[in-house]
Structure 1
C-alpha cells in the first residue's frame, strides 16, 4: 500500500477550505414581473417539485429554468436539480433570466494556472454532461470561465467524480497537458484518497479489496468471479470511526475504475450510505456518503508535487456524534 503522507510543498501546503454552503446569493434580477411562488409542504427534491408544480412543462424546459438561474429557494438562486427541499420553504420561479453571474454553482476553484484547474465539487453537480443532456455541469461552468479571457479557450477532462460524490477534482487547460497527464496517470497522480460513510460495523480495521470489474447491460459495474475477466481494480481502506450502525473509512485508490469504491464497498458487505444502486438500504444524510478528500499530483510543467486536502463533510461526522449522545 502506498504511503499517504506526501511531503507538503515548500512555501505552504495547498489545504483547501471548501465553501461552507453550495447556496450562493443570486445575481440581480429585473423584477418587473413578480415571480411565481410555491410553498413546499413535504420533503422532496427540487426537480421533482418543479415537475409536479409545472405540469404543463417538460423536463428539459424545467432544467433550462434551473440552468438560467430562474429558480430560487427562499430567495437564493438554486441550479442543482436534486437540491433537497423541506416543508416551509418557498420556491420562486422568475420569467426573466439572471442578467449576469460571476459565481459558480456547486463548485469552487482551489487552484488555477496555465496548465490545470483544481476544483472542489459539491455533491449533486454533474462533472460532465452526456451528449443529449443540457444540464449545468462543472465542465460547462469552467469552460465559460476560461473563455472570459479568450473565446477559443477550452478545458479538457482528466478524470471524473460521480454526480453525488463531492470533493477534489481537476481539469487540464490544453489537449497536450491532458495527454501528458493521462498517458502517465499512475506516476502523475501520487495520492487519491476518499472518505466513505458505509452501512454497518466494519470489524477489520484495514484491508485491501481486489477484483476484476465489468459493466453489465444496465451500465452497472460488478466484480467478475473469474480472474482477469475485466479491468483490474485495487482499493485500500482503513476504519476511522465505527458504530454498530455506520463506519467511516478512509479509502485509497490504487486503480481508478468506474464506480470502483462503490462496487468494492458492496463486495465488502458494507455499501456506501445512500447508494441504492450498489446495495444500500439507508440514506441518513440525503446524499451519497462518498467524498474525494485528497488529490496529490505532479504538475505537468513544473514537476512540483501539489497536494490538495479538504475536510471530511460534517454530515458524515454527525452520524457518530448522534450515536455517542
Structure 2
C-alpha cells in the first residue's frame, strides 16, 4: 500500500472512530425536525455550521491582530526602557562634563582671572615661556575636546528623548489596536456561543459531525489531487523536537491569545513548539507567513508550518502522512487533522 493510500486510510479511520465514539451519532447527518424553539426552524444545521465557521474565522483573524499588537507593544516597552536608561546615562555624562568645565573656570579664577596666554606674555623666563606654550596648547585641545563631547552628548540626549517619545506614541497606538481587536474577538466568540447555546444536545452532536464531514471531504479532495504523492521529506532535528512538543499538547483547550502551558491558540502552539526546539519564530500566523521562508507543498516535511485561508489567519504544524497538529478554535482542543482539511495558503519552514 503506497503512502497516499496509507494516509487516506488513516484519515478515514480517525473520522470513523470519532463518529463511533460520539454518543447517539448516526452515520448520516439528517436535518433536525423543524421546531419553533430551535434555530433549525429557520436555518439548516449546515447553514448554522457555515455561520459559526465564519464567526470563528473572524475571531481568529482578530486574534492575530491582537497578538501582533501585543508583541509590538512588548517590544516598544522594552525599547522605551532602553532609551530611558540611555537618557539617564547621557544626563549623568553632561553633568560630569559641566563639572569639569566649571573646575577649569575656577582654576583660572584662582590664577587671578588672567587667561593662560596673558600670564605667559608676562614672564621673562624663556624656558617657562616654552613650557607654558606647550601647556596652553594641551589645555586648548582639552577644552575643545570637552566642549565637543558636551555637544555630542547633548545631541545624543535630544535624539534619545525624541526616539522615546516616538516609541511611546507607537505603544499607545498598539494598545488601542489591542483593545479594538480584543473587543472584536470577544464579540465574535459571544455571537457564536449564543448560536451554539440555542442548539439542543442532539443538534450539537450532529453539528460536530457536519464539521468532521466537511473536513474529511476537503482532506479527501486534497489527497485525491496527488498532493501527497511527492511529499516525503524527513524532519530536521529541530523539526522533530518541534513536532514532539506540539503533539504533546494534544487535548489541551484552545484559548485565544494563549501560549501555554495549559492552553494555546493556533500560532501560540506553533511558536512555542519551535521555541522549545531552540528556534524563535514570529508570534502570529500572519507574521509567520510574511517573514518565514516559503516552500512548495510538495517539498514540505514534518515540522513545517502550513498557513491557511487567504488572510493567513490559521496555522498548523505538519507532522507527516498528510496530517497536521493544530489548535482549531474556541470550544475545541489541540488535535490532529488532515493537512488538506482547510484551504491551504502556503507552507513556511522555520529552520530553513
Place the TM-score, normalised by the shorter chain, in its bin. Answer: under 0.3
**Larger relative contact order (Cα-Cα within 8 Å, sequence gap ≥ 6):** 2
Q: Whose helix fraction is larger, Structure 1's or Structure 2's?
A: 2
Question: Which structure has the highest strand share of the two?
Answer: 1
